[in-house]
Chain A
Amino acid sequence: MKILTGNDLKTGAVTWWTGVGWSLDVNDSADVGEHGAAIIAREEGARNVFAAYVIDGEKTAEGVRPAHIKDRIRALGPTVRPDLTLKPADPEAVNWVI
């Protein structure tokens, strides 16, 4: 699947395109197919997001998983600070990334 990610303009937070808006949780990501560039143009124009780009992802039993490690870390948070990740209560969260 193709998923779309960017950063919130005011906070800089990593966000993921859900099909209707932006979420902080990668698991809410929608498959944008071939429409990524058009969505980016529209959403960046409206300042809902910036620095957006399309990446490969995979729908797994645990949720949506970006293909590349850099994007998986981006989705989860720093692997060395579990308390600051998307899953602060999950001691196995780092395994989801690596």
Chain B
Amino acid sequence: MYKYDQYDQQMVDTRVAEFRDQVRRRIDGELTEDQFRPLRLQNGLYLQLHAYMLRVAVPYGTLNSTQMAMLGDIADKYDRGYGHFTTRQNIQYNWIKLEDTPDILADLASVEMHAIQTSGNCIRNISSDQYAGAASDEVIDPRPYAELLRQWSSFHPEFLTLPRKFKIAVIASDTDRAAMRLHDIGIQMVRNPNPENGAGEIGARFYVGGGMGRTPMIGPMIRAFVPLDQLITYSEACLRVYNRHGRRDNKYKARIKILVHELGKDEYTRQVEEEFQHLLDQGIEPPLAELERIGQYFADPAWETGLSDELDLSDPDFRLWAERNCHAHKQAGYVIATVSLKPVGGIPGDATADQIRLMARIAKDYSFDELRVTHAQNIVFPHLRKADLYAVWRMLDEAGLGTANLDTVGDIIACPGLDYCSLANARSIPIAQKISERFGSPAKQAEIGELKLKISGCINACGHHHAGHIGILGVDRKGVENYQLLLGGCEGADTSLGQITGPGFDEDGIVDAVEKATEVYLANKQGEERFLDTYRRIGMAPFKEAIYG
């Protein structure tokens, strides 16, 4: 894992001191709320429906046990004993007091964490594959490149007041586990496909102009291969063209996806290439030695060799969890395990302080001190010995963290919705709870198989409803919550956007509609088809007929 150097630590410590003074001045009346709002937002402090909310960055979703334990301690000391893991691999606290915030940021800084650039029209926390460094299907660990981009984008003076917020994802496998093409910039680390010019070397493939929100778009590829020694320069060119032409006059048309759409991919790309050529002469690219320095922090842990790949699956509950929540590791004898934060009837993404600290202890003792936060609001132990898996599952299960439902209908992504969010139009969490209870039976979940269900409480789409095999969007119909149903979305390698089925439903009606959709799938399923496969084969019509009669 990356370790702060003196510059990182000094930047974060200085920011804490600045914000402490700004909070004092606000409380003393030297700053008005209008003056203070942009300052607190630059430090991740929002005002939500019930209180201040603090969003803490987890760079590319990677944490060590000390950091995770601190997140649990903050939940106890400053909040109400729990935190909410978000769809951007971050964590939010819902009940923060302004006067405590400088102390919280100081506590975070003591473990190399912060809340900088988790709000505002800047480059936000960079997300990545939660299995990075452990998956057998990646060409290289994407995190050193994400870290380089983090350093480049942190406090970048040119990009702190962009037309709108800006989200970057970096992955390194064809199996996209980070919704990469639904980001402002999606970067896939690849081997050079060009046989005449450096075939096989590692570089970056750029997709630009994806996003969800009120105008969902899948980012087109604008460059198949950017050499590593031009990664930052090309990123800078992409941002510069956006910063120059992005629609600052209209908040709803200010994201880069609108610019790419309106200019057209070819014209946007032409301008980026022109800017890129100009920038190449400026010498802004950090030396490759810096990338190599960063890369050393992400070296493989000291694997034990000669471990058995056998698992004792005689406990049926453990077997269910191991088969559902674990993923193949690149190293023999190890496994990647995902802790579902979606117990039946629970609140997606929420974990108590005790649960957070337990996961920290397990990471320290069993997973080379590493954890990952997933954009699906779960937690990953990336490097567990198979020999330890049963003991780990027992500890998790006793703490209410042993739910076996990864990527099933119970593993629902849901934004905080109207229960917490001041932007929301409808509640998301109660819908997630009702659906997870309706489909709570392990047998039912197994019968349905992989089904990614995502719920947003407003058109801003923090719950990624466009990308759900089944998506739900909460809207306000004259002061009454109403829910639209979407089918056919996907955030993986074959990214697609869900289509609305028709008129919306009330709270109970949407749960019934989801169940009818699964019945259509089960009745039409061929072979090993997933819900999404069947939908793509038979189309919307049979689903609409069943749902609306």
Contacts and interface: CB of A to CB of B under 8 A. Distances in A.
B427 A79 contact: yes
B433 A80 contact: yes
Main secondary structure of the interface of B (DSSP, over half): mixed
A80 B50 contact: no
Interface in B384-440: 418-420, 422, 424, 427, 429-430, 433
Contact of B49 (A50, A70, A84): A70
A78 B419 contact: yes
B90 to A, nearest CB: 19
B358 interface: no
Interface in B473-494: 479-481
Given A12-B96, A79-B419, A51 B49 contact: no
Interface in A46-92: 47, 50-51, 67-70, 73-74, 77-81, 84
B157 interface: no
A12 B93 CA distance: 13
B305 to A, nearest CB: 47
Nearest to B99: A10
Nearest to A50: B33
A12 B51 contact: yes
Contacts of B427: 73, 79-80
Which of B26, B27, B419 counts the most A-chain CB atoms under 10 A from its CB? Answer: B419
A26 interface: no
A51 B51 contact: no
B437 to A, nearest CB: 13
Contacts of B95: 12, 84
B52 interface: yes
Contacts of B111: none
B33 A44 contact: yes
A81 B420 CA distance: 11
B98 A78 contact: no
Contacts, number: 66
Interface string B494-506: 0000000000000
A70 B29 CA distance: 30
B540 interface: no
B361 interface: no
A25 to B, nearest CB: 14
B33 A11 contact: no
Contacts of B480: 69
A10 B52 CA distance: 10
B80 interface: yes
Contacts of A69: 418, 479-481
Contact of B430 (A10, A68, A80): A80
Nearest to B426: A69
Contact of B420 (A9, A10, A11, A78): A78
Contacts of B430: 79-80
A74 B98 CA distance: 19
A89 to B, nearest CB: 17
Nearest to B481: A69
Interface of B: 26-27, 29, 33, 47, 49-52, 80, 95-99, 347, 418-420, 422, 424, 427, 429-430, 433, 479-481
Interface of A: 7, 9-14, 44, 47, 50-51, 67-70, 73-74, 77-81, 84
Q: Which 7 A-B pairs have the closest CB atoms?
A: A12-B52, A12-B51, A78-B419, A80-B429, A50-B33, A11-B97, A10-B99
26 contacts: A7-B51, A9-B27, A9-B98, A10-B98, A10-B99, A12-B47, A12-B51, A12-B97, A47-B29, A50-B33, A69-B479, A70-B422, A70-B424, A73-B49, A73-B418, A74-B49, A78-B419, A78-B429, A79-B419, A79-B427, A79-B430, A80-B419, A80-B433, A81-B419, A84-B80, A84-B95
